[in-house]
């Protein structure tokens, strides 16, 4: 597993030369959210499409 410092270096190395602070912050945000999503999947915190549809339909039918 990469350390935060390694992740930041990797992201910085892949940004274009003309990247802004906003570009860098967005890239870090996306990486964080992807990591959170993968962790949720690993820990069983996910729903199938069918489960989500049933949850949404159930909320709207009341």
pTM value is 0.75
CA 19: distance to chain centroid? 21
CA distance linking residue 50 with residue 4, whole number of Å:
35
**In the chain, how many domains are there?**
1
What domain range is 45 assigned to? 4-60
Please, are residues 7 and 27 in contact by the beta-carbon 8 Å criterion?
no
Question: From the first residue on, what is the mean pLDDT of each consecutive set of 10 residues in the chain (62 residues)?
Answer: 95 98 98 97 96 88 51
- For 42, half-sphere exposure in the C-beta direction (CA atoms, 13 angstrom radius) is 6
| 53, two tokens | 């549809």
| 38, two tokens | 């993968």
Q: For 47-57, how does the pLDDT look when each residue is reduced to its tens digit (9 = 90+)?
A: 999 999 999 99
């Amino acid at each position: 597993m990469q350390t935060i410092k390694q992740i930041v270096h990797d992201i910085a190395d892949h940004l274009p030369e003309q990247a802004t602070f906003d570009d860098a912050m967005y890239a870090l945000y996306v990486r964080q959210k992807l990591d959170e999503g993968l962790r949720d999947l690993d820990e069983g915190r996910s729903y199938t499409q069918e489960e989500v549809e049933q949850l949404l339909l159930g909320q709207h039918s009341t």
